Amino acid sequence: MARVDISLGYGALDGQVLGFLARELIAFVLYMHQQMPRTFDQMQIELRGMEGSVRDETTRKSLGKNLQRFVRKTKKLHKFLDCVERLMVAVESAIDSTAPGVVEIVLLIGSNVARPQVVYRLKSFGELSDSSSSEEKTKIDLKQLTTKMIRELLSSGITEKVAGPTKLFLLVKASPEFMPTLSENFLPKRAFAWNSAKASEISIDFLRGESLEEANSEKIWYWNYFRKVLVQACCNHRFQCRHFVKGQPSSKELC
């Protein structure tokens, strides 16, 4: 298993930050593994332009016989981006409602959730706290942290290509007591384990600066103990997101 360590400096990773990073990781994974032709932001801009063209009378006349094909392409693009957005919203809501109960976030790329080609495991969140305690946490530059995560992934040389269109699945690891909260977007997968024989696994771990650890050694000791107990309690409890993304690796696939 390849491992990528990302330093948080002196910041604390809370539910909002983790949710944002999970969104960015989903968009990055889809693009780097050629499951969408352009970045998520570029495709959103493209969709807005296409929808504007459909409403514009002059453009509709210039398209002529190609108008129906253009409308179908717009609808398929909208459907694809909507699937990606639902997956992002699901992971954000799971973290917001269970933090600090989320132990691990897993992205699996493959035609089947049990036999993935590539696995991304987002874990070791350090001092993951409830978003409501914002006055006690150190602010983290989200853009800088996202850039650092992507740079580390690229420099590790682990963003291998996946042949052809496939699917992206999402799982979270948490204590079973959060099932009522997660039931809207997730299904329980007790004792679930994917076949890792042919899968490339990437573990993304977040680390904090030494000065912060020295300053809060007692607090960190308590948190590490809590994490250890939590992991042991829910080691076989994973929850699979009801939503998944079917890859669209080229513009032709959207037509």
- Gap between the Cα atoms of 55 and 70, Å rounded: 12
- Gap between the Cα atoms of 57 and 54, Å rounded: 8
Of residues 93, 90, 81, 86, the one with CA closest to residue 16: 93
Q: Are 8 and 140 in contact (CB under 8 A)?
A: yes
Q: Are 100 and 130 in contact (CB under 8 A)?
A: yes
Q: Report pLDDT for 215.
A: 42
- Residue 232 pLDDT > 70, yes or no? no
Q: Which phi-psi region, left, alpha or beta, contains residue 9 (left: φ > 0; alpha: ψ -120 to 50)? A: left
Q: Which residue has the higher pLDDT, 115 or 251?
A: 115
How many other C-beta atoms lie within 10 A of the C-beta of residue 21?
Answer: 24
Q: Report pLDDT for 44.
A: 94
Length of the chain measured in residues? 255
Measuring CA to CA, how many Å separate 147 from each of 21, 29, 120, 155, 158? 10, 14, 17, 12, 16
Q: Are 117 and 200 in contact (CB under 8 A)?
A: yes
How many other C-beta atoms lie within 10 A of the C-beta of residue 22?
Answer: 23
Q: Report pLDDT for 102.
A: 78
How many other C-beta atoms lie within 10 A of the C-beta of residue 180?
Answer: 9
Please, which pLDDT band fits residue 189 given cuts at 50, 70 and 90? confident
Q: Are 182 and 240 in contact (CB under 8 A)?
A: no
Q: Report pLDDT for 205.
A: 83
The mean pLDDT of 147-173, rounded to a whole number, is 83
Q: Which residue has the higher pLDDT, 61 or 35?
A: 35
- Residue 128 pLDDT > 80, yes or no? no
Q: Global pTM? A: 0.81
- Residue 45 pLDDT > 70, yes or no? yes
Q: Report pLDDT for 100.
A: 62
Q: Among 36-50, 114-128, 175-189, 198-212, which is the least confidently predicted range? A: 198-212
Of residues 100, 176, 104, 89, the one with CA closest to residue 131: 100
| CA 188 to mean position of chain CA atoms | 19
Q: Which residue has the higher pLDDT, 86 or 61?
A: 86
| CA 53 to mean position of chain CA atoms | 31
The mean pLDDT of 19-28, rounded to a whole number, is 92
